[in-house]
Amino acid sequence: MIIEQKQIDRIIEMAWEDRTPFEAIVYQFKLSESDVIKLMRKHLKPSSFRMWRKRVNSGVSQKHLRKRNPEISRFKCSRQRSISLNKISKR
């Protein structure tokens, strides 16, 4: 499977986000967790890759749905603002 640079950048961004589970990456890009690890190893500096792996395995990250609070069932952050009429409320 050939992945464009734009998609690689998005996968890396999603992998770094704590609230984005691996299941979301599988759903959007059809890449398993091991594929994401290989991609991260290939495209990150060695020190950045080690930092990311340590963070994912430490329990701080909730990259796996089984580690999450069962009430969380969506990919959108609960603190994300809604946009109405293309204007963001500043109150």
Q: Which range of residues forms the domain containing residue 30?
A: 5-64
**Domain count for the chain:** 1
Q: Which residues pair with 87 in a beta bridge?
A: 84
38 part of a folded domain? yes
pTM equals 0.65
85 part of a folded domain? no
77 part of a folded domain? no
44 part of a folded domain? yes
Calpha distance 28→24 (Å, rounded): 6
82 part of a folded domain? no
69 part of a folded domain? no
50 part of a folded domain? yes
pLDDT in tens, the chain (91 residues): 678 999 999 999 999 988 888 888 999 999 999 999 999 999 999 999 999 999 888 765 566 666 555 555 555 555 555 555 455 555 5
29 part of a folded domain? yes
Inter-residue contact 36 to 25 (CB < 8 Å): yes
